[in-house]
């Protein structure tokens, strides 16, 4: 199964990008033994449309175009469900066991996502009720993905 993060906007050079790349590399190394074949980050260009609705629509269409057929779609949103790390790992394992081709984690733009994309998602996750900068959400998501694969592989990284 492939793990994809589709994120609106670019992560500029700096500590956030360095940390994101570190967790991505670590997740890929550990994940291979679990049948997780690839870990990718796809950066979606921010829309320059004049209206909020048009920006949300354009960005959501671009995201929808990178979601493979039969993939699990997980939206990151502060109104989503908060999962403990072990439960997150269990979900990842279940999707792999169900032979899903990919799980795509979606980090929308500043204006959010179009309702059509929200309605097609399988799960909406939150890192608490606070609103986080998109750069931090990407880093935290990658850390949780890394933590999940270490839990599934029996690696001692997660100690709860």
- pLDDT one-digit tens code per residue, 74-110: 999 989 999 999 999 999 999 999 999 999 999 999 9
Is 77 within the bounds of a domain?
yes
Is 46 within the bounds of a domain?
yes
Where residue 21 sits, what CATH number does that domain have? 3.40.1280.10
Contact assessment for residue 75 and residue 124, using Cβ atoms and an 8 Å cutoff: yes
Task: State how many domains the chain has.
Answer: 1
Domain that holds residue 30: 2-153
Is 109 within the bounds of a domain?
yes
Q: What integer is the mean pLDDT of 30-51?
A: 95
Is 105 within the bounds of a domain?
yes
Contact assessment for residue 25 and residue 10, using Cβ atoms and an 8 Å cutoff: no
Is 103 within the bounds of a domain?
yes
Is 31 within the bounds of a domain?
yes
Per-residue pLDDT for 38 more than 80? yes
Bridge-partner residues for 38, per DSSP?
A: 2
Is 120 within the bounds of a domain?
yes
pLDDT band (50, 70, 90) for residue 160:
low
Which string of b and e fits 50-75 if b means at least 16 CB within 10 Å? eeeeebbbbbbebbbeebeeebbbbb
Is 160 within the bounds of a domain?
no
Which of these, 20, 72, 22, 69, lies nearest to 43 by C-alpha position?
A: 20
**Which residue's structure tokens are 């609106």?**
8
């Amino acid at each position: 199964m492939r793990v994809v993060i589709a994120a609106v906007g670019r992560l500029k050079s700096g500590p956030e990008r360095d940390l994101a790349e570190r967790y991505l590399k670590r997740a890929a190394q550990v994940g291979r033994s679990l049948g997780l074949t690839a870990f990718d980050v796809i950066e979606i260009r921010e829309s320059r449309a004049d209206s909020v609705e048009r920006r949300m629509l354009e960005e959501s269409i671009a995201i929808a175009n990178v979601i493979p057929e039969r993939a699990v779609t997980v939206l990151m949103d502060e109104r989503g469900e908060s999962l403990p790390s072990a439960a997150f790992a269990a979900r990842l394992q279940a999707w792999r066991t169900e032979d899903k081709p990919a799980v795509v984690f979606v980090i929308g733009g500043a204006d959010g996502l179009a309702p059509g994309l929200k309605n097609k998602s399988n799960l909406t996750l939150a890192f608490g009720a606070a609103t986080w900068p998109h750069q931090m959400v990407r880093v935290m998501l990658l850390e949780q993905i890394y933590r999940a694969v270490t839990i599934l592989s029996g690696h001692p990284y997660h100690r709860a």
